[in-house]
């Protein structure tokens, strides 16, 4: 009897978001963010950077010169904040896609967001070589357009089932990628610029990019956190969800719409950064539980931590800056293979 009670209590704690867990995650995020502010190409001295942060919080005297303060607050700080936003958006989108499609390897780019963003960014780079400021806007619109086309193509009898959406996403992504490749071949002189953007990075991050992504990622995060309980129900299957009074197609539309919005916002300011949406939700499930009431909010925090750390590696591991997508691929690809092998051994339906 005691064993049954302990098991029941353990299961309940694995489906509830414990305040202590959230606090631990936020403290880790704060530590990682402050650590990223301390290190950079310009040597400011970690004691003086901490002194500057303390001065800003208390209204005291700054130990940094105006130039050094500008490096900290206009170069490092927006990059750290943007990395956190991008990571949070991609991670929570990945968790949502995995729940909606009931597939642990589902990716935020599954419905053509990456292909749409890549095609739109390529068109802007080719048609307006001096208009790079429009690339984020075009990538955002392209990502949403790719998802919209997948949704329309996947509808059957007025409804969009998971299998139809997956197949439509593959078809739309293939078509948009073909268009992008065709445009690149006609304008070979822009291939390097397009390729650099597609590898992902935050080297040009500023407060403008932060303000561009913040409202969309924040709105999507609120919707997904509030819908986490519905996502738990949806993972049981459409028949079970309908028997509980839900409309699976409507819930799926809201969830995928919010996740796609966050993905589009992240892609628009960072380029294509892979594996964040696979690695982070899986780590959260391993450490805190499989309920989406736990996975969704902790993926937001974990995604921010993951990308801030990856960006720190990208800009400090070697004299020249590595593309952020390369760093996340080095981490994510082995993890992806490990998850795939583990799920196959356990008989999971992928």
Q: In the 3-class helix/strand/coil scheme, how is the chain assigned residue by residue?
A: CHHHHHHHHHHHHHCCCCHHHHHHHHHHHHHHHHHHHHCCCCCCCHHHHHHHHHHHHHCCCCCCCHHHHHHHHHHHHHHHHHHHHHHHHHHHHHHHHHHHCCCCCCCCCCCCHHHHHHHHHHHHHHHCCCCHHHHHHHHHHHHHHHHHHHHHHHEECCEECHHHHHHHHHHHHHHHHHHHHHHHHHCHHHHHHHHHHHHCCCCCCCHHHHHHHHHHHHHHHHHHHHCHHHHHHHCCCHHHHHHCCCCHHHHHHHHHHHHHHHHHHHHHHHCCCCCHHHHHHHHHHHHHCCCHHHHHHHHHHHHHHHHHHHHHHHHHCCCCCCCHHHHHHHHHHHHHHHHHHHHHHHCCCC
Q: How far apart are CA 82 and CA 205, in angstroms?
A: 7
Would you say residue 268 lies in a domain? yes
Q: Which residues of the chain have pLDDT under 50?
A: 1-13
Torsion, Cα of 194, 200, 206, 211 (10° steps): 100
Whole-number percent of the chain with pLDDT over 70: 89
Structure tokens at 98: 């995995």
Range of the domain at 155: 25-36+77-339
Q: 155 has which bridge partners?
A: 160
For the whole prediction, is pTM greater than 0.85? Answer: yes
User: What pLDDT shows up at residue 247?
Assistant: 83
| Tokens 């990208």 belong to residue | 314
Would you say residue 144 lies in a domain? yes
Would you say residue 3 lies in a domain? no
Would you say residue 183 lies in a domain? yes
Other residues' Cβ atoms within 10 Å of the Cβ of residue 45? 13
User: What pLDDT shows up at residue 2?
Assistant: 42
User: What pLDDT shows up at residue 81?
Assistant: 96
Structure tokens at 76: 């490092």
**CA angle 311-313-317, nearest 5°?**
140
User: What pLDDT shows up at residue 345?
Assistant: 59
The count of domains in the chain is 1
User: What pLDDT shows up at residue 302?
Assistant: 96
User: What pLDDT shows up at residue 298?
Assistant: 95
User: What pLDDT shows up at residue 14?
Assistant: 54
Would you say residue 122 lies in a domain? yes
Q: Is the dihedral of CA 322, 196, 69, 212 positive or negative?
A: negative
Would you say residue 347 lies in a domain? no
Please check whether residue 142 is in contact with residue 116, taking contact to mean a CB–CB distance below 8 angstroms. Answer: yes
Would you say residue 54 lies in a domain? no
Each residue's pLDDT tens digit, 227-260: 999 998 888 777 787 787 788 888 888 998 999 9
User: What pLDDT shows up at residue 343?
Assistant: 61
Please check whether residue 113 is in contact with residue 258, taking contact to mean a CB–CB distance below 8 angstroms. Answer: no
| Tokens 């997956």 belong to residue | 166
Would you say residue 161 lies in a domain? yes
Q: How far apart are CA 114 and CA 119, in angstroms?
A: 9
Please check whether residue 302 is in contact with residue 25, taking contact to mean a CB–CB distance below 8 angstroms. Answer: yes
The CATH number covering residue 195 comes to 1.10.3470.10
């Amino acid at each position: 009897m005691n064993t049954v009670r302990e098991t029941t209590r353990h299961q309940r704690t694995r489906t509830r978001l414990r305040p202590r867990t959230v606090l631990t995650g936020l403290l880790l995020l704060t530590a990682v963010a402050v650590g990223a502010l301390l290190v950079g190409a310009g040597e400011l001295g970690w004691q003086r950077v901490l002194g500057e942060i303390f001065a800003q919080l208390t209204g005291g005297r700054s130990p940094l010169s105006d130039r050094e303060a500008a490096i900290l607050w206009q170069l490092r700080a927006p990059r750290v904040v943007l990395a956190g936003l991008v990571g949070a958006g991609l991670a929570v989108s990945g968790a949502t896609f995995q729940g909606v499609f009931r597939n642990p390897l589902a990716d935020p780019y599954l419905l053509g967001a990456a292909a749409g963003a890549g095609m739109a960014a390529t068109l802007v780079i080719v048609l307006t070589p001096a208009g790079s400021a429009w690339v984020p806007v075009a990538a955002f619109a392209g990502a949403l357009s790719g998802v919209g086309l997948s949704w329309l193509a996947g509808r059957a009898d007025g409804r969009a089932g998971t299998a139809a959406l997956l197949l439509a996403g593959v078809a739309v992504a293939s078509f948009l990628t073909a268009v992008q490749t065709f445009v690149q071949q006609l304008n070979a002189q822009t291939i390097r610029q397009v390729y650099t953007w597609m590898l992902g990075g935050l080297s040009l991050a500023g407060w403008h990019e932060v303000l561009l992504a913040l409202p969309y990622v924040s709105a999507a995060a609120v919707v997904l956190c509030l819908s986490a309980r519905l996502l738990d129900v949806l993972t049981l299957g459409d028949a079970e969800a309908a028997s509980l009074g839900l409309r699976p197609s409507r819930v799926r539309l809201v969830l995928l719409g919010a996740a796609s919005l966050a993905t589009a916002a992240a892609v628009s300011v960072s380029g294509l950064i892979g594996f964040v949406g696979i690695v982070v939700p899986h780590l959260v499930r391993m450490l805190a539980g499989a309920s989406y009431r736990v996975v969704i909010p902790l993926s937001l925090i974990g995604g921010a931590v993951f990308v801030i750390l990856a960006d720190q590696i990208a800009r400090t591991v070697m004299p020249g800056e590595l593309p952020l997508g390369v760093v996340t691929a080095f981490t994510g690809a082995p993890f992806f293979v490990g998850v795939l092998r583990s799920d196959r051994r356990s008989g999971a339906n992928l």
